[in-house]
Amino acid sequence: MSIHTPRKKARIRLDDDVSSAKTRPVNSLQKQREQLPIARGREALIREIQENDTTILLGETGSGKTTQVPQYILESGIAGKGMIAVTQPRRVAATSLAARVAEEKNVSVGGLVGYSVRFDEASSSDTRIKYVSDGMLVRELLSDQLLSKYSVIVVDEAHERTLRTDFLIANLKTIQTARNKVGDVSRKGKGPASALNPLKLIIMSATLDAEKFSKFYNNARILYVKGRQHPVQIFHTSVSQTDYVDAALRTFFQIHTDRPPGDVLIFLPGQEDIESLDKSIKMYARRLPEERMTVLTCPMYAALPPAQQSRIFSSAPTNARKCILATNIAETSITIPGIKYVIDTGKCKEKRYLSKDTGGGFDTLLTRDITKSSAMQRAGRAGREGPGFCFRLYTEDAFNSMALSAEPEIRRCSLTQSVLQLKCLGQDFEAVDFMDPPEIGSVISALKTLWLLGALDNSKTLTTLGRQMASFPVEPYFARIILASKTHGCTSEVIDIVSLLSSSSALFLDISDQRDTISEVRGKFRHASGDHMTMLNALRSYQEVAASDSKGARKEWCRQHFVNERTFVEATKIRDQLRQTCQRVGIDWHASTADNEEPVLRCFVTGLVQQSAFLQPDGTYKQTMGHSVIKIHPGSTLCDKKLPAIIYDELVYTSQIYARGVSSVPKSFFSNVTPVAREA
C-alpha cells in the first residue's frame, strides 16, 4: 500500500540554479570540488573572511561548506602559520570529513588534514586542518586558554546548539577579543611583538538563525551560499502515520520494489526502533523473489562502536541495496556514498534534564517530533552524489507547524561538567555571556553536585581535587571515583570498571525474553555486591580467555555469555587514556587490592554519592538526594533484592524510574564522604 502521494503541491524542490554545474562531466575529485555551489563564490568568500574577524556562513546542505571552506582558507594563506580547526557535534562526522578532505588533498589522514575526537586522534606537526569534536576543543581550551595554535576556528553545524558548541561560542568571543587586542597593540608598535595571530571565526550551518548569531558577534557579516549541487525531491504523506516504524517498513519496500537502484537511509529515534525495524526488514527481504536485489541492512546509532559505525561508508555489493537505519547521528555533515533515498520518520530522541523539583535530578532521553532544521538536514543526506528523494512520514502541514530549531541544550541538560570546565578557566557560569543563558536552577544544581564531589569548596572556589577531576576525559563523578582510588589503593580495579562504564555500548546484553538464560550463564561471574564487581569479574574471565584462546574462541565466549566484545575492546582504549591521566596527576595506576570489593565500592560511593537510594519501610527505594521512588532495573544482578542502601550509575525513565548499574553498599560507607570529611 502506498502511503506517499507525490502530489504536486506537496513537492518542495530544494534545488536551485545548478544547471551549469549539472552539465559538466565529473571525472576527478578536483572537478567535483570545482562544481560545488560554494566554488562559484570562492573569491568573494575569501575576501570577506580576510576583511572580517567573524563571518556567519549559511548554505544549503551539500553546497560544500564543511569540506571546502577550510581548504579555501588554507590555500589563500589566511591562516598564516596557524592551524584551522573545524568543530563538529559528532565524532563520526569529524573522522569521515577528515578522510574526505585528506582524499581531496591527496594526503593521508593525520598529515596535512587530521582529526581529534574523544579517545581517538590522527594529527601530527604537519596538520593544518583539523576536524575536531566540539568536546575536544573544549578540552584543548582547558590547557591553552587562548587556543593559540589556531588562527581560524570554524564552528560547523552551529544550529544544533549542543552544550559544548554554546560553551565554545561564548568562549571564542572572549578569546577573539583578547587575541585581537594583543595583535592590535603589537601591530601598532605600542607593545611587545606578539606571537599570537588574531583569531578568525566562521560560524556555519544550513539552517541557522543567522541574525541571532550575527547580533551575538557584534553584527558579524552574514554570507549566503546559493544552491545545491543536486536536487532532492520531497514527498509528504497525505495523512499522519501513528506507527512510524511500520510506515518506514512499508515505504522502504515500496522504494525497493518500485524504484531504481540507490541506497536508502532511514531516520528513526533510537536503538530500540532501529533493532525492531532491522529485524522486520530482514524478515521480509528473505521472502522476496530471488531475482530481486538483496537488501543489506546497516544500523547506525551512538552506542555502536566507531568501527561498526564506519560500516555505513562501505559500498554494498552489486545487486544489493544498502539500507542504513540511523538515529540523528547521521543527520548533519556527513556524506554517505550511495544514498539516493531518505525516509524520515519525523521523530528523534532528545536529552532532557529532569530537575529535582520534578522528582528527577537526572538526564533522560525522550522521544519527540523533530524540528524543521532537522527535517531539512535529513533531506540533505540525499542528493549529494546525484539527484535524491526524501520520503517524509508526516504531512506537509505537520512539517509547516514544526519549530524551526530545537531548544539549546544549555536550557535542558545537566550542566555539571561545563560548570567545572568553566571554573578551571577561572569563570563563573552565571557571569558568562552565553547566547541563551541557562536556567539558574540548573546552574545551582550543578554547583551543588560539584560541591558534593569536592570539586568546589564552601565558597564555590575550585579545589585541587576539582582541577584534577577536570583533567580526566570522563564525567566528573567517574573522575571523582578514580581520584578516590588513590586513598584506597585500588586504582587498577577502579579504572577497569570506569572504562567499561564509559564505553559507548553496554557490556551486558539485556534481552528481555532471555533473562532467565542470561542470568544462568552469567552466574559464574555474578558478584553478591552487584553490577560493578560483576563487570570486573566478567572482564577478568574475558582476559583469561583472550590470553589463551583464539579470536574465534573469544567471540564465541562473548556470544555464550551475552556480553558485548566491542565494549571490552573500546574500554581498553579508554583505560589506556585514563592510566595516562593518572600518571599526569600523580596517581599510581598499578595500585591494586586484588579485586577486593570493599575499597572499590568505597570509591564508587564517593563519586556516586548523589546517585544513591535507601530502602524504605514499604520496600521501595527512595533517592537519598532527590524525591524520586526508584526501582532496580530488571537487567541488574540485584533486581528484586531488598537492600538497605544502593548506588547506581544512571536512572532511566520508561514506564517508571529505573536504576541501572547498581551495587549494594553498607550505609556506613556514606558517613565519611561529605565534603568536610574528605581529603582535598
Helix/strand/coil percentages in the chain, nearest 5: 45, 20, 35
CB contact at 8 A, 318 and 296? no
61 interacts with ligand ATP by CB under 6 A: yes
Cα distance between residue 397 and residue 239, in whole Å: 10
384 binds ligand ATP (CB under 6 A): yes
Question: Residue for cell digits 565500592?
Answer: 601
Task: Say whether residue 89 binds ligand ATP (CB under 6 A).
Answer: no
Binder of ligand ATP out of 54, 214, 333, 504 (CB under 6 A): 333
First to last CA, the chain: 67
297 lies in the site for ligand ATP, by CB under 6 A: no
Contacts of 87 (CB under 8 A, 6+ apart): 132, 133, 134, 137, 153, 154, 155, 156, 165, 168
In the complex with ligand ATP, the residue whose CB is nearer, 63 or 233, is 63
**x/- track of binding to ligand ATP for residues 459-488 (CB under 6 A):** ------------------------------
| 100, 340, 423, 575: residue in contact with ligand ATP (rule CB under 6 A) | 100
**28 versus 458: smaller Cβ distance to ligand ATP:** 28
At its nearest, how many Å lie between ligand ATP and the CB of residue 263? Answer: 13
Q: Which of 15, 58, 59, 610 binds ligand ATP (CB under 6 A)?
A: 59
Residue 62 found at the interface with ligand ATP (CB under 6 A) = yes
What is the closest distance, in whole angstroms, from the C-beta atom of residue 612 to ligand ATP in the complex? 43
Q: Output 66 or 636, the one with its CB closest to ligand ATP.
A: 66
Q: In this chain, which stretch among 56-64, 251-259, 342-350, 614-622 interacts with ligand ATP, using CB under 6 A?
A: 56-64
Nearer to ligand ATP, 64 or 361 (CB): 64
Residue of the chain from 116, 171, 229, 395 that contacts ligand ATP (CB under 6 A): 229
339 binds ligand ATP (CB under 6 A): no
Query: Taking the complex as a whole, how short is the minimal distance between the CB of residue 65 and ligand ATP, in angstroms?
Result: 4
Report if residue 309 touches ligand ATP, rule: CB under 6 A. no
Amino acid at residue number 237:
T
Comparing CB distances to ligand ATP, the nearer of 86 and 657 is: 86
For position 380 contacting ligand ATP by CB under 6 A, the verdict is: yes
CA distances from 186 to 150, 201, 249 (A): 19, 21, 64
Query: Is 657 in contact with 623 (CB distance < 8 Å)?
Result: no
374 interacts with ligand ATP by CB under 6 A: no
CA distance linking residue 250 with residue 391, whole number of Å: 11
Q: Are 421 and 389 in contact (CB under 8 A)?
A: no
User: Please, what is the Cα angle at 19 between 13 and 25, to 5 degrees?
Assistant: 120
**606: left (phi > 0), else alpha (psi -120 to 50), else beta?**
alpha
Q: What amino acid occupies position 134?
A: D
Q: Are 673 and 546 in contact (CB under 8 A)?
A: no
The span from the CA of 564 to the CA of 562, in Å, is 7
Which strand (E) or helix (H) includes residue 378? helix 372-379
Among residues 111 and 183, whose Cβ is nearest to ligand ATP? 111
Pairing state of beta strands 645-653 and 129-133? Answer: unpaired
Interface residue with ligand ATP among 15, 385, 475, 493 (CB under 6 A) is: 385
> Which of the stretches 331-339, 475-483, 596-604, 629-637 binds ligand ATP when contact is defined by CB under 6 A?
331-339
Contact criterion met (CB below 8 Å) for 482 and 489: no
Q: Which of 171, 335, 395, 442 binds ligand ATP (CB under 6 A)?
A: 335
CB of 72 to ligand ATP, least distance (A): 11
For position 227 contacting ligand ATP by CB under 6 A, the verdict is no
Ranges within 408-427 binding ligand ATP (CB under 6 A): none
Going by C-beta distance under 8 Å and a sequence separation of 6 or more, which residues neighbour residue 75? none
Q: Using an 8 Å Cβ cutoff, are 195 and 179 in contact?
A: no
Closest CA to 218 of 176, 160, 251: 176
CA distance 601 to 669: 9
x/- track of binding to ligand ATP for residues 17-36 (CB under 6 A) = -------------------x
- Which CB atom, from 157 or from 570, has the smaller least distance to ligand ATP? 157
Q: Which of residues 226 and 467 has its CB atom nearest to ligand ATP in the complex?
A: 226
* Residues binding ligand ATP (CB under 6 A): 36, 59, 61-68, 100, 206, 229, 332-333, 335, 337, 380, 384-385
